[in-house]
Amino acid sequence: MSSLNSEEGLGVASLSVLYAALIISSMFLPPILIKKLGCKWTIAGSMCCYVAFSLGNFYASWYTLIPTSVILGLGGAPLWSAKCTYLTIAGNSYAEKAGKIGKDIINQYFGVFFLIFQSSGIWGNLISSLILSQSSNKVEISEENLACCGAYDCVSNTANTTALAKPSESLVYTLLGVYTASGVLAVLLIIIFLDQIKSDQAETEKEIQKTPSFWSTLLATFQHLKDKRQCLLIPLTMYSGFEQGFLAGDYTKTYVTCALGIHYVGYVMICFSAVNSLCSLLFGKISQFTGRKLLFALGLYGVLFEKHTEAAFANYRLWESCGFVIAFGYSTTLRVYIKLYILLAVLMLAMVTYGVVEYLEAKRSPEIPAATEKKNVGPHTEETHI
């Protein structure tokens, strides 16, 4: 996005708007849509928002990308909430019929889902790389221009080089056509083959739909800030948004596209997605031996705030999304090396405040059985790409 629509910061601005809309959407839309439409049609409708965003990229301008970014942001939260609700209901239903523990079946369902979801980063980037690598506009980058890539990004000096290296419109349309067709096919598969929640599952659905109102959720979210540990975790949570915002908005554009060409972005992100998927699988195993303090990002909020998980995770979504929006907001105005200093400063602050959290936690419960700690730590599943 930031590499393909880099003119006047359009790509980064649209990403910033997207995550701002996602913040608003996550606060009140999911329970309303699931209650009115049910899980199946909420999923189908939300997926149409993704198709709309793909269509907006066919004629990329401020008048098309900004509105479709808002649409995508508003549809992101209901999609994930409806997906989680559907998998939970399906898992409980199967467990009841098979005489198994519901939690175990649900974990299996989510495991399969996230295995497929994480792999989408590999296949999607592979498609983009294979298509964009056919471009005839590849240029050799001189050492002088290469020095302007990366941390000391000289935007004015590399503008012409980037423009020459941009793929032809036919290749861009081909790429967008493949993505749009995939989205339409996915919507059709959901409409045709995904079962509605059956009548014998009505009670389960009612229980899941008993979600707090928008105002009560908002109030609980900010009331949870009275907990010192929650306030101390804000820098760590925001760093997650800063880091992912830098990866999506700056790294691919100023390091990969500038130095290697836009057709290499997909290959680089394939490596990222593959390692991300592998670590999601392995870290859950490693945590059984290392405990929470070493791999603190794996289950932190659920462990520390097990009695207030909803408010805690609402804060997580809120502050991480704020990190995204801030990172995308200053992306077009600051040099890359300044952004790196900001990332390092936030990371160092996050490490210090997290250390204080562990200190406070040790004072609250000086002797925590190892088995309890291992039980509470679970694998981390990242939702940063919408």
Per-block mean pLDDT, blocks of 10 residues, the chain (386 long): 59 80 81 86 95 91 91 89 85 87 80 78 86 71 74 58 63 92 96 77 51 63 77 87 83 82 83 76 58 51 55 70 82 85 92 86 61 42 46
Tell me the C-alpha distance between 253 and 331, whole Å. Answer: 11
Domain that holds residue 42: 7-150+166-196+214-363
| Cβ-proximal residues to 20 (8 Å cutoff; 6+ apart), any chain | 73, 321, 325
Please report the pLDDT score of residue 122 as a whole number.
84
Cα-based distances in Å from 340 to 1, 8, 19, 331: 20, 21, 21, 11
Of the candidates 217, 207, 208, 232, the residue with the CA atom closest to the CA atom of residue 24 = 217
Residue 381 counted as domain residue: no
Q: What is the DSSP letter of 6?
A: -
Cα-based distances in Å from 70 to 58, 118, 287, 315, 324: 17, 24, 38, 22, 15
Please report the pLDDT score of residue 10 as a whole number.
78
* C-beta of residue 357 within 8 angstroms of C-beta of residue 233: yes
Residue 377 counted as domain residue: no
Tell me the C-alpha distance between 81 and 50, whole Å. Answer: 16
Please report the pLDDT score of residue 189 as a whole number.
96
Residue 373 counted as domain residue: no
Q: Assign residue 381 a region: left if phi > 0, alpha if psi is -120 to 50, beta otherwise?
A: beta
For residue 28, count CB atoms less than 10 angstroms from its CB and return exposed for 0-12, middle for 13-18, buried for 19 or more: middle
Domain count, the chain: 1
Residue for token digits 């709309």? Answer: 52
Residues 99-117 as b or e (16 or more Cβ within 10 Å = b): eeeeeebbeebbeeebeeb
Please report the pLDDT score of residue 261 as a whole number.
77
| Whether the model pTM is above 0.75 | no
Structure token pair of residue 237: 């949570």
Residue 160 counted as domain residue: no
CB atoms near residue 291 (< 10 Å): 15
Tell me the C-alpha distance between 99 and 208, whole Å. Answer: 21
| Cβ-proximal residues to 219 (8 Å cutoff; 6+ apart), any chain | none
Distance of alpha carbon 58 from its chain centroid, rounded?
A: 23
CB atoms near residue 363 (< 10 Å): 8
